[in-house]
């Protein structure tokens, strides 16, 4: 298992309200995340272009901001869906900082997730 997969496994999962896509707005991908998606789609409205009949069409390759939705205090589900226990701010910051460093290293740049950090309401905390 690679380092990114190890970080992703630290993010709790939960069952969403069936048929709900309220968290699936336009999402900015990091370059590395976008490179993992084979079927490139562009949004034509405020909904994510990967919402399919059975949920997320790229669930296994969804960006970190999608993975964090509903599991951190700053991005809670409006329907109160979520894991039994939210990630602490300390754990969120630890995961996001490590994730950022891994992407920066892979992309060869230090600010490859800037757009994602902005679009997600600033869940990245830079030191």
Tokens 């990114």 -> residue:
4
pLDDT tens digits, 3-56? 888 999 999 999 988 888 888 887 878 888 888 899 999 888 888 999 988 889
Q: How many domains does the chain have?
A: 1
On whether residue 37 sits in a domain, the answer given is yes
Q: Is residue 126 part of a domain?
A: no
Let me know if residue 28 belongs to a domain.
yes
Domain assignment present for residue 124? The answer is no
Domain assignment of residue 127, yes or no: no
Does residue 22 lie within any of the structural domains?
yes
Q: Which domain holds residue 39?
A: 3-119
**Backbone torsion region of residue 17, taken as left when φ is above 0, otherwise alpha when ψ lies between -120 and 50, otherwise beta:** beta
Please report, for residues 104, 105, 108, 116, 125, the alpha-carbon distance to residue 31 in angstroms, rounded to integers and kept in the order given.
10, 12, 11, 10, 19
Alpha-carbon distance values, 59 to 25, 63, 68, 122, 126 (Å)? 15, 9, 13, 22, 27
State pTM to two decimals: 0.76
Each residue's pLDDT tens digit, 53-102: 888 999 999 999 899 999 999 999 999 999 999 999 999 999 999 988 88
């Amino acid at each position: 298992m690679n380092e990114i997969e190890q970080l992703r496994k630290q993010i709790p999962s939960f069952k969403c309200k069936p048929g709900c896509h309220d968290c699936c707005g336009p999402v900015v991908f990091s370059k590395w995340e976008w490179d993992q998606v084979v079927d490139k789609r562009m949004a034509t409205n405020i909904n994510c272009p990967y919402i399919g009949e059975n949920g997320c069409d790229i669930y296994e390759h969804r960006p970190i901001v999608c993975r964090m939705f509903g599991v951190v205090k700053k991005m809670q589900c409006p329907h109160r869906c979520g894991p039994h226990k939210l990630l602490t701010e300390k754990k969120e910051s630890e995961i996001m900082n490590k994730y950022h460093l891994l992407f920066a290293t892979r992309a060869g740049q230090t600010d490859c997730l800037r757009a994602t950090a902005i679009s997600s309401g600033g869940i990245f905390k830079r030191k």
